[in-house]
Structure 1
Amino acid sequence: MYIEKVRAMDVSYNLLNLTGKAIDILAKFSKADIRVHDVDKIPKAPVVFVVNHFTRMETFFLPNVIHKITGKYIYSLAHHSFFVGGFGKFMEKVGAVSTKDPLRDVKFIGALLRGDMDCIIFPEGQMVKDKKLVERGKYMVYNSGIRRPPHTGAAFIALRAQFYREELKSCKERNACDELNNLMAHFGISEQELSHITNQETYIVPVNITYFPIRARANILNKIANKLVKALPERIEEELEVEGTMLVEGVDIDINFGNPIAISPYLKSYLAKQKIKSKKLYLDPQELQSDVVLRKIAIDIMYRYMRDIYAMTTLNHDHIFSYFLTKTKNRIKETDFKTKAYCAIEAIKKVNLATCHTSLQLKQGYLLTDDPHGRYNDFIDAAKSEGLISIKDGFIYKNKEKFSRLYEFHTIRKDNIVEVLKNEIEPLEQVIKKLDRVFWTPMFCIRRKLVKSFYKRDREIFEKDYKEFFKQGETKPKHIGMPFYKKRWFARTGIVLVHGYMAAPEEMRQLAEFLYKKGYTVYCARLRGHGTSPEDLATRSWEEWYESVNRSYIVVKYSVKKVFICGFSTGAGLTLLHAANKKDALQGAIAISAPYRLQNIAAGLAPVVDTWNKFLSFLKIKKIGRMDFIPNHPDNPDINYLRNPVSGIHQMELLMSLVEKRLADISIPVLIMQGAGDKTVDPKGAFEMFMKIASEKKEFTMVHSKSHGITRGEEGKVVALRVAANIKDYA
C-alpha cells in the first residue's frame, strides 16, 4: 500500500554526496576541530542515534560525520517549520524528515528494518540552550515556558522497528502470507530483503556533543547578517554570536559515542511476545504507543539513553571554573579560586572519567604558579566582558544581580554562559561530588597538602635522577644536589633560591642559612640535570629548569604570605623570567651575576655545535666528529660539574635570549647584583640588563670580587647582607 510512496520519496544520494563535500570544505575553512571518540561502539546494524541538542550546526555536520564512519546515509528528524518551499524539498532530499510528515514513522522504521539508512533523533525535542537537564533529580528540558521530560519518540521508533522485525519473523515462521505481505508493503520491503531483515537487531546508540570553548562575541558572520538584514530577530542574533564565534575563532567539538542499547531484550516479556504472535499487525502508531506495557518500556529506554548521553559530557576547564563561580557567595581570592580548580582537576583525574577534554590531561601546575594560563585567562576575560564578575585587589567579585536573574531561554548562552556550563555538568554525579568536596575544603588544609605534596615530589624527582644518572667518581654526594626546605613557623615571608648552571642547591646554602636566621622561610630549588652528572644535564631543556623553580615556588607560596625569588647566574636568568611572568604575585626579585653576556667563546659556538651533534645523532653516528662536552674549571669543584655539555650551553643561550625580550615586562621591585671581576659573565652586561628592566623600583649593586661565584665565602657574606636588606625593604 505504501511502498510506492516510500520509494518515491527516497533521498538523493548525489545531493547527499555533494552536501557532504560542501560541509567538508566549510569545515576546513572554519576553525572548528571535530574530534570523534569510540566509533568502534557503533554496531554494524540498524541504529537510532540519540543526540543532545545545543547548536544549530550539529544538525548539518553530524549526519556527514556518521556517514563517514558507517558508510550509511542518515534520516534525521527536523522541525516542520524548516520544510517550506524549495528549501523544504532540499531538506527532504538530504534525509531530513519533518516532525509533521504523515509518513515520518514509515520512513524511519522502514529504513531501520531494511538497514539501508540509520536515523538521528534529538530526544530533547529542540535545542537546550540553557543546558538545564536535571530538575529535582529528574531529566527535564525547557519547552514553551515549562519544563518537561525528554521525548520518548526515539525509544518508540526503535521499539516499533524491532517489534515489526519480530513480527515479520513470526509471520514468516507461521507462514502467515497475508499478514507478511501487508507488513512488507507498509514499510517498502522487497522479497529479497526479507531474510536479511529478520536476522537483524535494532540498536539505539547514545551520542554526546560537547563544545569548548563557548563564547558569544560579535564576529564576521553576524556582522554580515546585520548588514544584509535590518533588525535581525534576537534569537537569530544570539545564534550567530555563539555559533559564529565557534566557527570563526575556533572550537573543539567532541563527539562521544556510547554503548549500543539492543532493543530485542525489551520485547522478551510474555505480553510483548503475545502481541508479536497475534494476527493484529499494530500498524497504527497509536496502537503500540498507547499500550501501557510498551509505554513503560519506552520510558525506561528513554531514561537509559538520556543518562548515557549526559554521562558522556566532555569535561573541560570552563565547566570547573563555572561550577566554582556559581558556588561562590560574594567573592573569592583569585589565588584560592585557581588553587581549588587545580585540586579539582587532580581529584577528577583519579575518577578515570572517560570523557575529559585533552587539555585536562596536561599538567595543570600553571594554575598554582601564577604564570599565564590561557584557559583560565580566557574564561575570566569572558566572564568580565559579560559583567558577571569584577576583579579588584586580588579578589574575584561576583555580580549577584546577574546570577540571581531569570534569563530568557533563547539568550542565556549570550547573557550568562557560566550558568549554562554549570548546568551541563550537573548529571555528572561523581564529578559534582569531587568538585563540592574540593570547594568546601578549608584553604589551610589545601595549602598544607600542596606544600607536603610538592616538596615530596621535588625530592622524589631528584632521587630518581640521581639513581639513573649516577656516575662513579664524578657524581657528588647526594646532599650536594638535594633540594632543601627550611621552614620558619609563623614566618610571613619566604624566599625561593635558585642555583647556577652546572652547580647544585649546595651553592646557595650559605645564603639560605643566613636568610633563615633572619626569620625567613627558605627553599632552595634544584634545576633538573644538576646535582647528578653532566650526562643528565645534556638531556635537559631550559623549560625543565623553569618548571623546577615552579615546584619550589609552590612550596613557598603556600607556606607564607609574601614570596621573593633570588637566583645566581643561570638561576638569576630564571629569576627574571619568573618575575616577568608572575608579576605582582612576587614581592620582589633578586638576580645575582645573571649571564646576560658570557665571556667564554664556547657560548657563541654552542648553538652550532649542538645542531651538528643532533645531525650526527640523526645519522646514527655516535662518536666520530661529535663534541658533546667541553672541560669546565669551576670556582667550586666540590659542587660543580667538571664537564660542560654543549647542549646545556645552548639551552642557557635560549633562556637568556628570551629573558632579554621579557625585561620590559618586569614591574616588581628588582635588585641586580654583579661581581666586578667576573671572568664568566661580562659585568657590563649586568648594567645593560638593569637599564632594560621596566620596574620603577630597581637597584643595582656591584660587588668587589675576582671570581664568578659570589654567593660563597667572604663575597657571599656581602651578598647575603645586601639581599636581606632588599627583602626587608619590600617585604
Structure 2
Amino acid sequence: MQHFSPPDINPQTYGWSVRAFSTVKRMLGVNIKLHAGRNQVEQGHIFLFNHFARFETFIPQYLIYQEQKAYCRSVAAAEFFSGDERFTNYLHAVGALPNNMPNLLSVLAKDILRGRKVIIFPEGGMIKDKKIMSAQGDYSVFSPTALERRKHHSGAARLALVLDQFKQAVHCAHQRNDHDLLEHWVEEIGLDSVETLLERCHEPTRIVPSNITFYPIRITENFLKNSVERLTGKLPKKYAEELLIEGNLMLKDTDMDIRMGKPIEMAQFWTWWEKIVVRQAVEDITGLNDLFAMGPQSEQFLKRLAGTRLRHKTEQVRDQIMEDMYRLVTVNLSHIASALILEFLDRGTDTLPQSDFLHVLYLAARYVSHEQGIHLHRSLLYAETYRNLRDGHCEEIKQFLTSAQRANLVEIKDDNIHFLPKLKLEHDFHDVRMENPICVYANECAPVGGIKTAIHRALNHKQELTLDHWAQYFFEDEVHAYRQAKERFSAPAYEEINIQQTATADASPFYLAPVGEKVKKASVLLVHGFLASPAEMIGLGHQLAEEGYWVYGPRLEGHGTSPCDLRDRGWQDWMRSLKLGYDLLSMRSEKVIIVGFSTGGALTLRFAAEHDPKLAGICAISTPLRFANPNLMFVPLIHHANRLAKWLAAQEGILPYIINESEHPDINYKHIPIRALHELRLLVDDMEQNLYRVKCPTRLIQGDQEKVVKPESARLIRAEMAGTTPELVMVASTRHGIVTEDIGGTRQHIIDFVNRIERNL
C-alpha cells in the first residue's frame, strides 16, 4: 500500500519563526507565562489546548521549543492549506498538517516516535463563548458550522491509545526475536536503529492537558480594528468582533497564562484482560496504518474486540482530558465576579448596594484563595490585591465593572449596582465576547467546582458575620499578605541583597486583645518607622493591651521582607497599610488613636489631616521634618540618575542602595533603597504641606539630641499645626529609637496621652 508522506519540518524556517515571534512578543501587550512542572515538556508527547483566540495557536510551539528545543507537529483546518501555495509551504515547514490529510494519525504517531511533540486543539474551532459544560455537567462545545453542540474531537485520544498499542506490538516482536519486522518498522518510521525504536517504545505514551487563560477581556476599540476598517470599509460582524477582542488581547496589557496539567499515561486505561486481547490482536500487525484501521469491521474476532474496546477507551480518555484541561483554568477576580452576578440573578436579585456586592465578592475571593486545587491568577494569589475589594479600591474590579457598564450589562447609580436585562439574553456565538463578557467569564470557570462553593458560602455567611469577624478576617489577610511577600522576595533573584540582611525579629503584623475584663472604648493603631517592621512597636503594644485596649500593629508595605520589596513601593503604599489597620480597628471600637514612630509619625500626621470622624487623637514620635544627615538633600538627584541609568542600560542604576548603620540591626534593613529614600522625602514634603489641616488632639515626642531626625523638627511641626494645639514632650536622648528602647519613659508618655484621650470620650 502506498502511503502519503507530508513535507518534513524545515529546521531553518522553524528556527527563524521562533526568533521572529520572540521579537514580536516583546512588542505585544500580552504577558505570556508558562506554568509547567519540572521535565513536563520533555516527558509529554501530545499536548492538548483549549482554543479562544486565533493567535494563541502559535504560542505552544514557541514555548515548547524555548523549553526543550523540540519540534512540534500541529493540526490546522484544511482551509488554510488550500490558498496561497507559499503560505501552504510555510505551514508545512513549521510542522502544521491539515486536519483532512490521509493517514493523519499514523503520520503523527511516527513523528512522536521520532522524538517530536504533537499539539492538538480538541475543540476544533475557537470556542468564543467558553461554554463547555451542560447543565448536567457533561463536556461539549457549540459548532458554529454545524450550528449544534457536539462532543470534543477524539483524535488525540485515539492517537495516544493506538500508539500505545503499537508499542505493545514492538515489545511482542522483540520478545519473539522478529528482527525483520523490527527493521521494517525502523525504516517505516524513519529511525536510525532498532535500539532507538525499542527505547522510544519503552516510554509510556503521555498526553498533557493544557489550558490557556486570558485576563482581562476588553471590549474597547483598538487601532488594529479601526485601521483595517479604514482600509477595507465596514467589516462583517464576525471579523469586526475578532479584531476587537483579539486585537485587545494582543495589543493591550493582557495576561496569558498557559498551564500544563499532570501527564495522562495511556497504560492506566487498559484492564488486565484488555491488555491480553490487545497484545494478541496486534501480533501480526505490520504497519501503523493497519493499527489505526482496526475496528469493529475487522474480519478477525480479536481485532474486532480490540477495536471495540479501543473505541470505548477513546471516549473515556477524551472525557478525562477534557475534565483535566478545563479545570486548569487560571482563575481570576473577573471569573468570581461574573459567577457571583449570575448567582444573584438566579436568586432573583437584580439590584443591591455596591458595598454589599463588594463585600460578598471579597468573601468569595478570600474563600477561593484558600481552596485546594484551584489555580489562581495574581488578582487572587496575593491577599494584598483582593483585600482592597473591601473599600472598592481594587483596580481589577474597577476594570471589570467599567467593562461591564460599557457593555450595558450593569449600571452603578446612587451607590447601587443594577444587573441589567441584557445579562439574561441569548447572544449569537460570534457576538458573545463583545456583548456579554460576564457570561464568557462565568462559562470559563464553571468546571472549577470550588468557585460555586465559595460563592454560596460567601452569600450564606455575609449576614452572619459581625464587625469583630470582619476585623479578624482583615487581620488574617494582612498576615497572609506578609507571608506571601516574604516568600516572593526570598527567590534567588534577591539573594545577593537578602543574604547580607541582619534582621531576625518577627516582622508580622500583630493584633492584640485587651488583657482583663475592662475593655476601653478606643483602640490603638501603632505605626512603625522606615526600614523597620511591627517588631519595633510590639513592646508598646503589649503594654497598651495590658491597659485594656485593642491594639493593632500594621506592616507598612515593602517592610519586613527584603530591601528589594521596599525598592518597588511608594509612600502611598505605606499610607494604604496604615488605612487598612485603621479600618480594622474602626470595626472593633468606637474611636481609634494612632501612635506613629518616625516615618510612622509622618504617615499619622498626614492621615489625621483627612479628619476621619472616628479618629480620637494622635501621637507622633521622632517624626522627621529636618534630617540630621545632610547627604539626604542629594537623594532626589541620585534617584533620577538611577532611573535614567536603568532606562538606558536596563540595570539597577548607579547607586540603587546605600548601607544603613542601624541602631536595631535585628529589626531594620541593612540596605536602604535610594528610591525609598526619595519616597520618604516626598512623604515628609506632603505631610508638611498638610499640617495646618490637623485638628484632633496631638502629642509630639522627640529625643533632644538624637542623630537621625534633627530635634528641632518637633518644634517646627508644632508651629505649623494651626488647627490644633499639640503637646510637645522632649525626651533626653541621643538615640532615635526611643519607643523600642523606652528611653526617658517614652512609652509612659504615650500611654498617659492615650489614657487621657480615652477618659474624655
Q: Name the TM-score class by shorter chain.
A: 0.7 to 0.9
Deviation of 1:404 after TM superposition, in Å, equals 0.4
Distance in 1 between residues matched to 2:681 and 2:603, nearest whole Å? 8
Query: In 1, distance between residues paired with 2:100 and 2:465?
Result: 59
Measured after TM superposition, the shift of residue 53 of structure 1 is 1.1
Q: For residue 741 of structure 2, what is the aligned residue in structure 1?
A: none
Distance in 2 between the 1:72 and 1:717 partners? 68
2:110 is paired with a residue whose SS is helix
State the SS of the aligned residue for 2:431.
Answer: helix
Name the residue aligned to 1:153: 155
2: CA distance between counterparts of 1:92 and 1:102?
15
Quickly say closer, same or farther: Cα 1:488–1:407, change in 2 above 3 A. Answer: farther
Where 1:445 maps in the other structure, the secondary structure is: coil
What residue number does 1:202 align with? 205
- Cα distance in 2, alignment partners of residues 385 and 278 from structure 1: 65
User: 3-state SS of the aligned residue for 2:408?
Assistant: coil
Distance 1:217 1:314 in 2: 23
- Judging changes above 3 Å, is the alpha-carbon distance between structure 1 residues 717 and 275 closer, same or farther for their aligned structure 2 residues? closer
| Distance change in 2, residues 1:402/1:38 (3 Å) | same
CA distances 1:578-597 after superposition (whole Å, capped 9, x unpaired): 589xx99x667788688999
Task: Report Cα offsets for 1:169-224 as digits up to 9, x if no partner.
Answer: 44565577997788777766777665455444422111111122222221222222
Identity of paired residues, percent?
A: 22
In the other structure, the counterpart of 2:240 is 237
Q: Is the 8 A contact 1:680 1:708 kept in 2?
A: no
1:431 to 445, 451, 458: 451
Query: Quick check: 1:50–1:207 contact (8 Å CA) kept in 2?
Result: yes
Runs of 5+ in structure 2 lacking a partner?
298-306, 483-502, 530-535, 557-565, 639-654, 703-710, 732-747
The residue identity in structure 1 corresponding to 2:264 is: I
Aligned residue among 346, 365, 370 for 2:366: 346
Q: What is the distance in 1 between the residues matched to 2:755 and 2:241?
A: 65
Aligned AA for 1:313? Answer: V
Against the structure 1 CA distance between its residues 494 and 76, is the aligned structure 2 distance closer, same or farther, given a 3 Å change threshold?
A: farther
* In structure 1, C-alpha distance between the alignment counterparts of 2:478 and 2:588, rounded to whole Å: 16
Decide which of 569, 578, 585 is 1:549's aligned counterpart: 578
Q: How far apart are 1:577 and its partner, in Å?
A: 5.5
Aligned counterparts of 2:49 and 2:118: Cα–Cα separation in 1:
11
| RMSD (Å), alpha carbons | 5.4
2:9 and 2:92 in contact (8 A); partners too: yes
Change (3 A) 1:90 1:590: farther
Tell me: CA distance 1:361–1:665, structure 2 relative to 1, closer, same or farther (3 Å): farther
Q: What is residue 322 of structure 2 aligned with on the other side?
A: 306
In structure 2, do the counterparts of structure 1 residues 162 and 602 end up closer, same or farther at CA, with 3 Å as the change threshold? Answer: same
- Which residue among 209, 217, 220 is the counterpart of 2:220? 217
Q: Secondary structure at the match of 1:431?
A: helix
* Deviation of 1:680 (Å): 5.3
For the residues of structure 2 that align with 1:596 and 1:306, how far apart are their CA atoms? 62
SS at match of 1:57: helix
Alignment of structure 1 residues 566-605 onto 2, 5 Å:
573-574=602-603, 602=628
Alignment of 1:687-698 (within 5 A): none
1:77-156 superposed matches below 5 A: 77-83=75-81, 84-86=83-85, 87-112=87-112, 114-135=113-134, 136-144=136-144, 145-156=147-158
Question: Which sits farther off after the overlay, 144-153 or 275-284?
Answer: 275-284
Take 2:621 and 2:313, find their aligned partners in 1: how far apart are those partners? 74
**Distance in 1, Cα, partners of 2:671 & 2:730:** 20
Query: Pick from 245, 251, 255: which aligns with 1:252?
Result: 255
Check the 8 A contact 1:171/1:180 in 2, yes or no.
Answer: yes
Query: Partner residue of 1:274?
Result: 280
On the 8 A contact 2:352/2:417 being kept in 1, the answer is yes
Distance in 1 (CA, whole Å) between partners of 2:672 and 2:201 is 69
Residue 701 in 1 paired to residue 723 in 2? yes
Give distance in 2, aligned partners of 1:17 and 1:720: 73
The C-alpha deviation readout for 1:467-508, integer Å capped at 9, x for no partner, is 9769xxxxxxxxxx986679999x9x988766797989989x
In the alignment, the residues of structure 1 paired with residue 701 and residue 316 of structure 2 have an alpha-carbon distance, to the nearest angstrom, of 83
Say yes or no: does 1:327 pair with 2:343: yes
Q: CA deviation at 1:398?
A: 1.5
For residues 447-468 of structure 1, what are the alpha-carbon distances to aligned partners after superposition, in whole Å with 9 as ceiling and x for unaligned?
4422245568999999xxxx97
Q: Distance in 1 between matches of 2:480 and 2:27?
A: 47
Partner of 2:646: none
Change (3 A) 1:233 1:497: same
CA contact (8 A) 1:596 1:685 kept: no
Q: TM-score w.r.t. structure 2 length? A: 0.70
- Partner amino acid for 2:628? A
| Residue in 2 that maps onto 1:167 | 169
- Evaluate the alpha carbon distance shift between residue 2 and residue 443 of structure 1 in structure 2; reply closer, same or farther with a 3 A threshold: farther
Q: Distance in 2 between matches of 1:553 and 1:651?
A: 23
Mark the runs of 5 or more structure 1 residues left unpaired by the alignment. Answer: 471-480, 517-521, 530-538, 613-617, 631-642, 691-699, 725-731
Measure the CA separation in 2 of the matches of 1:218 and 1:169: 59
Aligned residue for 1:535? Answer: none
Q: Write the mapping of 1:299-698 to structure 2, written as runs, cut at 5 A.
A: 299-328=315-344, 329-353=349-373, 355-364=375-384, 366-367=387-388, 370=391, 372-399=393-420, 401-445=421-465, 447-454=467-474, 525-526=552-553, 546=575, 549-558=578-587, 573-574=602-603, 602=628, 628=662, 654-655=679-680, 657-658=682-683, 671=695
The TM-score normalised by the length of structure 1 is 0.73
Cα distance, 1:301 vs. partner?
0.4
Superposed displacement of residue 155, structure 1:
0.7
Give the deviation of 1:661 after TM superposition: 5.2
- Could you tell me how far 1:303 is from its partner in structure 2? 1.0
Secondary structure of the 2:208 match is: strand
- Cα distance in 2 for residues equivalent to 1:664 and 1:288: 84
Describe the shift of the 1:218–1:662 C-alpha distance in structure 2 as closer, same or farther (beyond 3 A): farther
